[in-house]
């Protein structure tokens, strides 16, 4: 079997509106995903003795069946048992660069990378749509991770409307190393506190989806994608993440970091997904570096980590292959 190494980029949410409840217990969302250049490297090769193995040295990443990369390989082995038997198992190695449990879909991206890697290695020739259907069985963010770029998502996050790719936008990412937020906790707390605001009927939910799709953020992103740099300064008041309403009051450290970055960044700052990572947008690499330096000196805490990166159009991409 060929061995594949794939880049598995992180994402941020530029918009995350919780629209309502779903019969499956998840939340109906309208969200804008954006891939960024910060990426893990996932190596997929034939394993020993017909088993699935996952190896990742990073702290907090399970090397067992709970890892989304493992679950992706298990799903592929169930769906394509002949290929699994023929190639003799799957060995996965993850080089982690994306902070773990950060609201950046690092684990989801690793799952998507294994789907894409095994499709290539096993010569299955799956379409992007087929890969995304498999991805939806693994988690809400996984289908987006397959193709990456810029997309508006509805449903649990798995119904994707791709948008024209936005580039030349930089960001400073910041995260307290020791701080974690449980995604189920964030959604459950949101339901308990703000459930009264939910759109109750399918029609009311559809109306909120339509409003987000034709809303000012999507229009500004499209203007930006078309080369109108003025669209950049329009983004600031349009960034929205409903989960901030529960995560920030429960974690004053994240709220302080978010407020600091929002003051320092002319284009604004926000928490990504269910947190705890916070991003600040910047119009140039040098502006991003300046924001990072100013934030570091305002909050000189060794537990606080920063990255400077940029928007990316890339989803899962093989970077090399060996026979």
Q: How many helices (H) and strands (E) does the chain have?
A: 12, 12
Question: Whose Cβ is closer to ligand C5P: residue 29's or residue 248's?
Answer: 29
Report if residue 112 touches ligand C5P, rule: CB under 6 A. no
Report if residue 189 touches ligand C5P, rule: CB under 6 A. no
Binder of ligand C5P out of 63, 128, 183, 289 (CB under 6 A): 183
Least CB distance to ligand C5P at residue 99 (A):
16
Q: Is 103 annotated as a binding residue?
A: yes
Q: Is 294 annotated as a binding residue?
A: no
Binder of ligand C5P out of 125, 184, 300, 302 (CB under 6 A): 184
Q: Distance between CA atoms of 4 and 28, rounded to whole angstroms? A: 35
Q: Where are the alpha helices (DSSP H) in the chain?
A: 68-79, 81-87, 106-121, 128-136, 142-147, 183-194, 202-213, 216-225, 230-235, 244-250, 252-264, 285-298
Binder of ligand C5P out of 11, 156, 175, 209 (CB under 6 A): 156
SS3 letters across 262-303: HHHCCCCEEECCCCCCEEEEECCHHHHHHHHHHHHHHCCCCC
Q: Distance between CA atoms of 56 and 54, rounded to whole angstroms? A: 7
Residues marked active site are found at 11, 141
Least CB distance to ligand C5P at residue 156 (A):
4
Q: Is 89 annotated as a binding residue?
A: no
Question: Whose Cβ is closer to ligand C5P: residue 12's or residue 29's?
Answer: 29
Find the part of the chain contacting ligand C5P (CB under 6 A) among 180-188, 208-216, 283-291, 299-307.
180-188
Least CB distance to ligand C5P at residue 128 (A):
20
Largest interatomic CA distance in the chain? 57
**Number of C-beta neighbours around residue 24 at 10 A:** 8
Residues forming the site for ligand C5P (CB under 6 A): 26-27, 29, 139-141, 156-157, 183-184, 187
Annotated binding-site members for ATP: 99-109
């Amino acid at each position: 079997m060929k061995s594949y190494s794939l880049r598995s980029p992180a994402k941020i949410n530029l918009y995350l509106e919780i629209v309502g409840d779903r019969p499956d217990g998840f939340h109906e969302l309208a969200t804008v995903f954006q891939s960024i250049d910060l990426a893990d490297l996932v190596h997929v090769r034939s394993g020993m003795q017909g088993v699935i193995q996952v190896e990742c040295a990073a702290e907090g990443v399970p090397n067992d069946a709970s890892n989304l990369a493992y679950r992706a390989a298990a799903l592929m082995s169930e769906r394509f048992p002949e290929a699994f038997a023929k190639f003799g198992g799957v060995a996965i190695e993850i080089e982690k660069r994306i902070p773990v449990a950060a609201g950046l879909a690092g684990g989801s991206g690793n799952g998507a990378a294994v789907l894409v890697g095994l499709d290539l290695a096993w010569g299955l020739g799956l379409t992007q749509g087929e890969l995304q259907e498999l991805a939806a069985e693994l988690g809400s963010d996984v289908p987006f991770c397959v193709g990456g770029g810029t997309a508006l998502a509805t449903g649990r996050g798995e119904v994707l409307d791709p948008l024209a790719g936005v580039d030349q936008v930089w960001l400073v990412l910041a995260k307290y190393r020791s701080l974690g937020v449980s995604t189920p906790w964030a959604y459950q707390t949101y339901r308990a506190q703000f459930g009264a605001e939910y759109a109750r009927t399918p029609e009311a939910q559809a109306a909120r989806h339509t409003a987000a799709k034709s809303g000012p953020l999507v229009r500004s992103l499209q203007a930006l994608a078309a080369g109108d740099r003025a669209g950049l300064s329009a983004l600031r008041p349009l960034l929205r993440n409903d989960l901030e309403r529960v995560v920030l009051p429960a974690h004053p450290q994240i709220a302080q970091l978010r407020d600091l970055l929002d003051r320092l960044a002319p284009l604004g700052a926000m928490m990504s997904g269910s947190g705890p990572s916070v991003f600040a947008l910047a119009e140039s690499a040098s502006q991003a570096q300046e924001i990072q330096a100013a934030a570091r000196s305002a909050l000189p805490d060794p537990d606080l980590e920063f990255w400077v990166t940029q928007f990316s159009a890339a989803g899962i991409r093989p970077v090399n292959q060996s026979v």
